[in-house]
Structure 1
Amino acid sequence: MYELRSNIYNDQDTSFTFYVLDTMATNAHTTADKAISKSFGSISPEEIQEGKEVFETDGVKGYEAYLQNKIDAWKTIPLNIGIVGNAGSGKSSFINAVRDLNGDDEGAAKVGVTETTKEPRAYSHPNNELMKFWDLPGAGTPSFPKESYLERIGFDKFDFFLIVTHKRFTETDAQLAQEITNKGKQFFFVRTHIQQDIENDKKTHPKKHKKEQELVDEILRNLKENLRALLQEDKVFLIDNYERDKFDFNRLAQSLIEDFPDLKRQAFIFSINAFSKQMVKAKVMELHSTIWEYSVLSGLVATVPLPGLSFAVDLTFIVKLSKFFFNQLGLDESSLERTASLANTDPSTLKTIVKKNFDVSLFLTSQGIKEFLVTIPAAILSEAAEEYLRLLPGIGSLIAAPISAGTTYYILDQILKKMEEVALLVLETTTQEVSTDAADEEQN
């Protein structure tokens, strides 16, 4: 199979193949076919030309570095999220929760009810130092009067705002939300301490306390009454910073993803850890969209008439992306230990799940990828290439670049699907253990 691919590569016309790749990108931006637009929307004709020039000028090593820089490009995009609320509202706990930190961890925001934020302070996410959660002073204080509040905090640098409260949103909060809207930015209302409210109700009414959902619905109704005309239901989230798998924490994360501009959305998704099923799905969708882009770029190397060169570069590239996928979906050891710590679970249990269900030596090493390729019938790879070509308007023959790109796409697609299965299995196990612990505690 490798020899067949090398022979195909030998007789290609480089200029024609670059023309084909350029056509792929151009058509992706003009076609009415949504599937093609989705698949190739992230790569432009200019990028194809750029890749060509890098390869011709810097060779294989330079091109590999170029591809690695594209993989890491999301780390260069600044993200700034402004969080407003009074002392004790749960801002610091939220900042820690969304960064997967406990209050005792290094770099965690100080949690307490007595310390009032006097100046804006930024907390970077451990996965991306350019994604910052800003603990902002409350509006309407002597140092930050309502009239000049947005100007004082540097409104323009923020992508959007979270207005956080423990009990009820004040008139000042409502006015702030209106001003943010008027200036063209997004905001979300976040009501924290929901689990604490449920526990307090049980203690106050040990015999006649409300059912959990009943109390949550009541809190939401009260919020609607307080916010009235300003309220948009899809902008209000009830959360508990210590119970991320309950209430609206996952829905909030999903809403943040949807409201980010395209370029920043990818950076946000890749920065946040895969702490829920919804976040795993969001990551997989975003990672899958990058497969198309990188597969097209890998096809550039297939134009060089050197036997085995394209295959060698493809292998290196596939391994790099596979490791990136692996870390993004929280399957590496440090991620599993962090997940176990936050869920109060034995990390060895999660590591065993990964070990039993995912062969690291097969999918994260060059030798392993070679062995994996041997198990795939040539007909399937041919079919993958044909399917790839079917999605590309204006391409009617099998040439080296599409064959290389189609094979790369197929391999990465299969690896990502397997990783998704294992990531969801890890989360399912974690959720089951947390639920069992909670049931035992309730019984006691």
Structure 2
Amino acid sequence: MGGASSRDQSAEASNTSLFSEDELKNLKSNFESGGVEKVTPLIQKKVNDLDNIELNIAVTGEAGTGKSSFINAMRGLQSEDKGAAKVDNKETTVEPTEYKHPSLPNVILWDLPGIGTVKFPANKYLKEMKFKKYDFFIIISHPRFTENDVKLAQEIKRLGKKFYFVRPKIDSDLDAVKRERREFKEEEELENIRSYCITSLQEAGISSPQVFLISKFDRHLYDFDRLSKVLEDDLPSLKRSVYILALPNLTLEIVEKKKKELKKRVWMLASLSGVLGAVPVPGVSLGCDIGILIGGIVHFRKCLGLDDASLRRLAKKAGKPVEELKAVVKGPMVGEITPDIINRLAWGATAVVVSGFELVLDHVPVVGSIFGAGSSFLMIYKLLSGALDDLTENARRVVKAAFGTDENDPK
């Protein structure tokens, strides 16, 4: 492939698929020794692993600190929405309570009881909460971080897990300061609050605390975007992908991030189709690949917020009639996906399959070399890529209709 070294090829392929570099080397080795038959179980296992991967986020803090509002915001819900966490100042959480993402149930936020209560004293908290199951921890406190918050962070660190301090209701705090002072500079006051939180935690024994100031109601204000970016950067690749796909579509930037992650999924599904070999080209006899295509398109649609429930939630968030958002959603990919639609799309794709084959192999030198131009790998790649492009454009139009902007940020 253009004289590139095998290491360069693996690195390049890793950027376009969810295979790690070691997995790509293993695939290549197995293919060279046993052909497609030997790599089939490896690829099928990878796809199954992706379907079953979970992201478990623990949210802890005392009653009234804003845990429920945070959990709802992370899932793109408002307090009155179906499945929303109940917003209450009373300590109603007596055991870890799970709240699944409304579209991606493998993303779970856990509301944990506050540490140091009568039922959960600090010395029993870790064991009772089964800390090892969570991928990272959000420690929420208001108006200040407590001794128990510090103890909790130290134990989380001891277990080798990531934790982040969140101070919510910052808009209410700023309003209170504004009423008390004639001169008020928001950025300066935010930095004072942030510095105070960090200094207090450092004095209590937390060496490099990460503190985020957020609004109770508006996810786009203050440090919420910064928190989201830090979480993305800190998660391992597969968990990061799941996290990004679970983000509510509040900006065009989020839509583009989702497309990038879903493009990796295209490679995975095309690879699965390649080993199954259900679609000879030419001929377009889709066979069992119909299921791969329909399942892939439905998944893309949910992740991009184009299903009916997601559109209703976004419309509510934006204060727009849902019909206004639905009006900009167009094309065959947003209706019922039937085998007939897939077959018509496939016939249209055959004209470009052979001509585009070398280009595809240039982008996936290891996986692409396993399958020939007559395999279903390229056909599924072309069909799913086209569907993803179509759905992404629809998602862009929805965000613009919801927030009235052509910029990356609807603010």
With the length of structure 2 as denominator, give the TM-score of the two structures.
0.79
Distance 1:161 1:258 in 2: 15
- 1:299/1:401 contact within 8 Å kept: no
Q: Which residue among 189, 196, 202 is the counterpart of 1:215?
A: 189
Equivalent position of 1:35 in the other structure = 12
The aligned runs of 1:124-143 (5 Å cut-off) are 124-143=100-119
- The structure that is helix-richer by fraction is 1
SS for the counterpart of 2:259 is helix
Offset from partner CA, 1:142-173 (integer Å, 9 cap, x none):
33333332223222222211100122212332
1:373 Cα deviation from its structure 2 partner? 5.6
Equivalent position of 1:8 in the other structure = none
- 2:139/2:149 contact within 8 Å kept: yes
State yes or no: 1:95 paired with 2:53.
Answer: no
Distance 1:296 1:130 in 2: 23
- 1:302/1:401 contact within 8 Å kept: no
Distance 1:265 1:121 in 2: 23
1:322 Cα deviation from its structure 2 partner? 2.0
The aligned runs of 1:227-306 (5 Å cut-off) are 227-228=201-202, 230=206, 232=208, 235-302=210-277
Equivalent position of 2:403 in the other structure = 431
Equivalent position of 1:330 in the other structure = 305
Distance 2:159 2:6 in 1: 31
State yes or no: 1:176 paired with 2:152.
Answer: yes
- Describe the shift of the 1:170–1:72 C-alpha distance in structure 2 as closer, same or farther (beyond 3 A): same
- Describe the shift of the 1:137–1:360 C-alpha distance in structure 2 as closer, same or farther (beyond 3 A): closer
- Describe the shift of the 1:129–1:306 C-alpha distance in structure 2 as closer, same or farther (beyond 3 A): closer
State yes or no: 1:421 paired with 2:380.
Answer: no
Offset from partner CA, 1:410-437 (integer Å, 9 cap, x none):
332233233223313322332338xxxx
Which has the higher Rg, Structure 1 or Structure 2?
1
- 1:363/1:415 contact within 8 Å kept: no
1:310 Cα deviation from its structure 2 partner? 4.3
Aligned length: 390
Give aligned-pair identity as a percent.
34
State yes or no: 1:352 paired with 2:327.
Answer: yes
Q: Which residue among 362, 377, 381 is the counterpart of 1:409?
A: 381
Distance 1:361 1:105 in 2: 24
- Describe the shift of the 1:384–1:97 C-alpha distance in structure 2 as closer, same or farther (beyond 3 A): same
- 1:81/1:132 contact within 8 Å kept: yes
With the length of structure 1 as denominator, give the TM-score of the two structures.
0.74
Distance 1:420 1:162 in 2: 31
Unmatched runs of 5 consecutive residues or more in structure 1 = 1-27, 55-65, 440-444
- Describe the shift of the 1:82–1:373 C-alpha distance in structure 2 as closer, same or farther (beyond 3 A): closer
1:291 Cα deviation from its structure 2 partner? 0.8
- AA aligned to 1:294 is L
Offset from partner CA, 1:98-157 (integer Å, 9 cap, x none):
223322334332212233644333333333445432222222333333333222322222
- Describe the shift of the 1:72–1:268 C-alpha distance in structure 2 as closer, same or farther (beyond 3 A): farther
